Each structure stands twice: as C-alpha cells, then as structure tokens.
C-alpha cells in the first residue's frame, strides 16, 4: 500500500480496510528499510507521538467525526517548513533549530487540522538541480538508488519528491521559488504543483519568511503538494488554501467549474533554450495523442526570456535571502524594514533595482497571457534535459531551470506530470500551466492530459 495515493489511503481508513496506526507503522518500517539508500527523510518524529496522533485519528473514524478525506494519512514536510518539535533547517548549520511546542507553519497547522499525521521532515534545500547539503549530505534519486553513478533528484524539494516516489510517505509539501516543487517532481516521476502565488500561506517557512526578504523573492516563492496522484493534489488544495492570523491575506481559489480540455498551447522553447531529443520526442508524442483525441493543439513561438533577465532575477532570488538569513535567523523581525537605498549587510541595491524586477514581471505576465490566448492550458516540458549524474559539476543551472522560472515570475499555477523516462532510468515530466487562481480547474484539466502521459510508475526498491 505504500505506493497508493493519499486519497486511496484515506478511503481505506474510512472504509475500515486499514487504520491510521497501521499506515503510520507501515511507513515507519518502510523508512527504516529503504531510506538509507535515498536519504530523503532527514528527521523523524518519535514513533510514540506519531502513533498517538494516528490512534486519535482512528478514534475519530470510529466515532464518525473524520475531519477530511485525508484524516489519518501520514505525511512529511520539506525541512524548511516549521512544525513543532521537529528539526527545521535549510541544510546549513547556521539555520538549524527545533521550533518550540506550538510553532507550526501555517501549512503544518492546516494539515494537522485536517487530521493528517506528520511523520517528519524531508531533505532540503540544496540547489535547483541537486539536493545535497552540508548538514544532510546527498539525497539520491529513487530510480537510481544503490547505483553508481546515481542521478540528481532535482531541487530544492528533492527530499520531498524522493520520499513520495520511494513510498516513504503519503504525500509532502514543498516550496517553489524557481521550480523547486516541479523540478524534483519531474526527476522523481511524481506530481508536483506550484500553486498560484499567494494562495498558500508562507508563515513558518524559514527560508523566505522574514518580512525583510527582497520584494522580488517574496513575489516568486510559493508552495504546493507533491504526490503520487492528481487526485491527492485536488484534495490538498482546499486544505492548504486557508487564511490564518499570521497570514490573513491568503488569496482564495476560484470555485471549480469542471472544464473540458478543448485547446492547448505548446511552449517548448524559452529564449535560446530548447529540449534534448528524448524529452522533445516524448513531448511531441503527447501533443499528437491530444490531437488524435480531438484537442486543438497550437504551437507557440519561443518565449523571449533571455540570459540577462534570468540573471537579474537570480541576483535578487539567491544573493539577498542568504544575507537575510545570516542577519536575522532564527528571530523573525516583526518590523518590516524600510525599502530605501540599503537593505542588508554586504548586499545593497537601490529600490529601483527591485522595482524594475516587478515591472519586468508585469510585462512577462502580459506576454504570457497573450501566448495563452483562449486556450485552456499551456503545455511545456518541466525539464529541458535529463537529470545529470549526482555530484558532478554542471556548466550552468539555467539549462535545467529554463522551463520553470517563467511561471514563478508570472505567478501562474503550474503542475508537473510524469511524462517519460530517460536513458539513465530517471523520469522527466510535462507541465500544465493554468490561469491565476484557477488551480482547481488546472488540476481537472491536467487529469485529461495525464491520460496520455506516463503516470506514476514506482521505482524498483
């Protein structure tokens, strides 16, 4: 059962076919038996606390007071998301701590309120291609676990995707500022959603949570479920789309309308970057299958995003948050700093620098909207190229991220689906991109695409 969807596991509990206690013990045993090959689960709660929470869920089931369809289903969280009494870390010793009782991120709080049972934390963050950190070491791709060489998981939610793919958890939640949910979901052969920006609370994420983080970074980072089924993502979205005392401005999702897939736009080239032959062939085959099914398929020209634009966003994305963390972590500064001419020790930029990034993002949103037109979805490869060998030096990260960052800049919801497998044995995905706040419709439309894709195929573990 460890490879079943979270929704299926919840249904088994509700029907009396299994219990939350049994499922939690199953995953604890699975982690003990298999995680040494993968190094995905970097912190595990005590078994007694996990099983006590599971027993409470089983009591609710027995009394007919289940909180949600996922009540009793075990889950994990990316290590940067706070959850009381669990290790919270960015993978560097400078930012590693255990929150006190009651210090849950809003994401952890929402899932616990729905009755899901937290097992522990998963490896993070590493970089956009590799999940390898000073504190936790290397996270291995489940599809090449035990092989030499192994291959990259993608990052930075590599531990989240690896744990889901390896059957170590029911589901996980990752964060995504440049592809960090979608990239590892692609290389680990699972489903991963980057929700519309602002629809899932950031409170309790130690990486970008300080009010002093740069505006460009703040407006790129969002969150989303990583799972073995699109049904799981559909079930999790309403749970995660909740406002809180700390984050009352969470934007509500638009109601589900049940749209039918009639037209898609293919966007398989970004600037000067294009797909390798294996990824392109699988992407073309999917497009042909959709055409044969009666879907109108339109080929877009290359999206004009260039090196300089990427570099400008990366400068704001990666350099400044590090300075914020080194200066303020772990104390969250409740007083928002003035955005004048200087911000952080060692890193200064005029306000106009950040404003120009916002202006550029607005232009990209407008341009992407014109590319999408009246189509239901944009379809694009999640990765342009196959996963590199773990531990190797790659010439640049943009080649691996070129298909993802655009949708952080524009804020559109985007979900990665398993599409194919490379010669290395490592999967790769295709991404469906929807309209702002129409995440529930996006998942429904993506299911119609998923009929012609690969689906989740468990690794041989």
Query: Is 238 within a domain?
Result: yes
175 part of the active site: no
CA Rg value for the chain:
21
Q: Of 240, 152, 141, 227, which Cα lies nearest the Cα of 192?
A: 227
Local confidence band at 127 (pLDDT 50, 70, 90 cut-offs): confident
Residue 219 lies in a domain: yes
Higher pLDDT pick, 405 / 157: 157
Residue 179 maps to a domain: yes
**156 noted as active-site residue:** yes
pLDDT tens readout for residues 2-37: 999 999 999 999 999 999 999 999 999 999 999 999
Q: Per-residue pLDDT tens for 294-338?
A: 999 999 999 988 777 776 665 554 444 444 434 433 333 323 333
Instruction: Judge contact between 162 and 188, C-beta under 8 A.
Output: yes
**Domain assignment of residue 322, yes or no:** no
Tell me the pLDDT of the chain averaged across its residues: 87
Quick one: pLDDT band at residue 212, thresholds 50, 70, 90? very low
- Residue 194 inside a domain? The answer is yes
For residue 23, give its domain range: 6-265+369-450
Between the alpha carbon of residue 437 and those of residues 40, 42, 198, 255, 373, the distances in Å are: 31, 33, 9, 9, 17
Catalytic: which of 5, 57, 78, 194?
78
Question: What is the number of structural domains in the chain?
Answer: 1
User: Token pair for residue 198?
Assistant: 């602002």
Partner residues linked to 182 by β-bridges: none
Q: Give the pLDDT of residue 390.
A: 93
Instruction: Burial-class residue 111 by CB neighbours within 10 Å (0-12, 13-18, 19+).
Output: buried
Domain for residue 285, yes or no? no
CATH number of the domain residue 48 falls in: 3.90.1300.10
* Sequence-ordered strand ranges (E) for 72-116: 74-78, 88-89, 96-97
Q: Which residue, 175, 160, 58, 44, is CA-closest to 106?
A: 175
Residues 6+ apart with CB under 8 A from 297: 263, 264, 266, 287, 290, 291
Which of 89, 156, 186, 416 is flagged as catalytic? 156
Q: What is the pLDDT of residue 453?
A: 98
**Eight-state DSSP code of residue 194:** E
Q: Flag whether 397 is in a domain.
A: yes
Query: Domain for residue 325, yes or no?
Result: no
pLDDT score, position 346: 37
- Spot the catalytic one: 157, 160, 175, 180: 180
More confident residue, 353 or 47: 47
Q: First vs last Cα of the chain: how many Å apart? A: 14
373 has pLDDT over 70: yes
Global pTM? Answer: 0.92
Q: Answer yes or no: 180 catalytic.
A: yes
Q: What is the pLDDT of residues 44-83, one digit of tens each?
A: 999 999 999 999 999 999 999 999 999 999 999 999 999 9
What percent of the chain shows pLDDT beyond 90? Answer: 67
């Amino acid at each position: 059962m460890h490879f079943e969807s979270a929704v299926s596991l919840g249904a088994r509990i509700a029907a009396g076919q299994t219990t939350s206690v049994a499922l939690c013990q199953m995953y604890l045993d699975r982690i003990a038996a298999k995680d040494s090959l993968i190094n995905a689960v970097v912190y595990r709660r005590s078994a007694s606390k996990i099983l006590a929470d599971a027993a409470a869920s089983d009591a609710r089931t027995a009394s007919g007071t289940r909180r949600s369809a996922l009540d009793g289903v075990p889950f994990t969280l990316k290590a940067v998301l706070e959850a009381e009494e669990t290790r919270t870390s960015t993978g560097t010793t400078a930012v590693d701590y255990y929150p006190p009782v009651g210090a849950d991120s809003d994401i952890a709080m929402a899932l616990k309120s729905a009755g899901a049972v937290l097992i522990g934390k998963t490896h993070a963050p590493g970089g956009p291609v590799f999940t390898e950190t000073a504190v936790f070491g290397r996270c291995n791709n489940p599809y090449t676990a035990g092989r030499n060489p192994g291959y990259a998981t993608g990052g930075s939610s590599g531990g989240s995707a690896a744990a889901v793919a390896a059957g170590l958890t029911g589901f996980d939640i990752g964060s995504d500022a440049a592809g960090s949910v979608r990239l590892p979901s692609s290389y680990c052969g699972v489903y991963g959603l980057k929700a519309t920006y602002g629809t899932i609370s950031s409170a309790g994420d130690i990486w970008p949570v300080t009010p002093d983080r740069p505006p460009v970074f703040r407006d790129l980072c969002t969150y989303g479920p990583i799972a073995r089924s699109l049904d799981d993502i559909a079930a999790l979205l309403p749970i995660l789309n909740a406002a809180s005392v700390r984050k009352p401005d969470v934007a509500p999702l638009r109601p589900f309308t049940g749209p039918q897939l009639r037209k898609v736009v293919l966007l398989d080239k970004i600037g000067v970057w294009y797909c390798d032959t294996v990824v392109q062939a699988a992407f073309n085959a999917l497009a042909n299958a959709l055409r044969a099914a009666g879907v109108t398929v339109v080929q877009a020209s290359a999206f004009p995003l260039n090196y300089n634009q990427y570099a400008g966003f990366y400068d704001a994305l990666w350099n400044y948050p590090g300075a914020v963390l080194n200066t303020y972590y772990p104390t969250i500064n409740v007083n928002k700093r003035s955005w004048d001419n200087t911000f952080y020790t060692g890193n200064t930029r005029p306000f106009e620098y950040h404003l120009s990034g916002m202006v550029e993002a607005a232009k990209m949103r407008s341009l992407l909207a014109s590319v999408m037109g009246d189509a239901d979805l944009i379809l694009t490869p999640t990765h342009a190229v196959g996963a590199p060998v773990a531990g190797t030096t790659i010439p640049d990260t943009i080649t691996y991220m070129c298909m993802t960052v655009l949708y952080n800049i524009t804020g559109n919801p985007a979900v990665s689906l398993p599409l194919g497998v490379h010669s290395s044995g490592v999967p790769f995905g295709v991404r469906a991109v929807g309209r702002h706040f129409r995440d529930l419709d996006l998942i429904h439309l993506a299911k119609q695409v998923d009929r012609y894709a690969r689906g989740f195929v468990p690794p041989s573990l």
